[in-house]
Amino acid sequence: MQSMNTFISAFSKASCATLLIFGAAYAGTEQAKTNPLEGMGELKVVASGFKSTEGPVWLSKKNTLLFTDIPGNTIYGLNSDTLTLEKVRSPSDVANGLSLDNEGYLLAAEQKNRSITRMNLTTKEVTPFIEAFEVEGKRYRFNSPNDMAVHANGNVYFTDPPFGLRRDPSKREIDFNGVFVRTPDGNIKVIKEMAQTKNPNGIIFSPNQSTMYLAVSDDESGPILAFDVDAKGELSNEREFARAQNTDGMAMDADGNLYVATRTGIKVWSSEGKEWGRIDLPNNIRTTNCAFGGKEKDTLYITNRSADLYAIKLKVKGHQ
């Protein structure tokens, strides 16, 4: 059956943002779902004064969004009720991606130390968590840990592009860009090796953790890969799910729709690969990541390469 395609372009008076929606109907097939971008609210600036933000993660018990300002060397917390901003950790050792582990500790991928640390959000104590990759008794420092995804079994998957080494590539100790996993017993193994020209970036699980998505950044059009995941966290059936320019961090809603930060806004796909549309920021600002939060978990926060942090309400609830 031929799907009915619609194209809607609306302009937010407050932000001059463009919201693009594709294929709003797509009815009459087994893949039919509601477009998560239909009926969205107004794009708003919720905090300002940054250099370039990344790593958003929602802390439900404090109704707070945690995120990083990479050049600002700070991890911030934004309370969604009061919109008050606090410095959670500064300096942050140039933290990039953030994630919460299964015990509620904050994991931070640090460019300065080329490692991942674990922070107790109550005591603010920071301890090493992932420091090096060991092969035949020899330890190798990572390139520049970037983003993480935590499995229910305790496995921590993380990407390791060379972004933090661009000023001095001679410091590279691992001759490939990779995706790694740390198991609960502390062992670290590589699960995907990539050429030095390929940059593994955002990484996330589907709501039931049966699929893992990996964004591979490219200045032209890079792939978003999908993998099957079994109960033990083992990956199989690697395949290309979609493509976009400069793919970065990702979020997932409760219906399994995938939200991907790209050079041209937040692009959204259904779990079957149907592209629903895109959320653009003003002045073609490049997005870096996104995460759901808010009391109803229906607010999508968008980090980006500007001084502002953006948020928009959707009709769907987030999963991650």
Residue numbers belonging to the annotated binding site for a divalent metal cation: 54, 201, 248
| Secondary structure letter of residue 154 according to DSSP | S
Q: Cβ of 224: how many Cβ atoms within 10 Å?
A: 23
Q: What's the token pair of residue 224?
A: 């978003």
Among candidate residues 69, 147, 248, 253, the one labeled active-site is: 248
Measured CA to CA, the distance from residue 234 to residue 203 in angstroms comes to: 15
Q: Given the DSSP bridges, would you call strands 287-293 and 275-279 parallel, antiparallel or unpaired?
A: unpaired
SS3 category, 188: strand
Binding residues for substrate: 146
Length of the chain: 320
Binding residues: 54, 146, 201, 248
**Is 218 one of the catalytic residues?**
no
SS (H, E, C) 122-137: CCCCEEEEECEEEECC
Strand 74-79: give its sheet, edge to edge. 53-59, 64-69, 74-79, 85-89
Which amino acid is located at 168 in the chain?
D
SS3 category, 165: helix
Q: Is residue 159 within 8 Å of 145, Cβ to Cβ?
A: yes
The residues that are catalytic are: 248
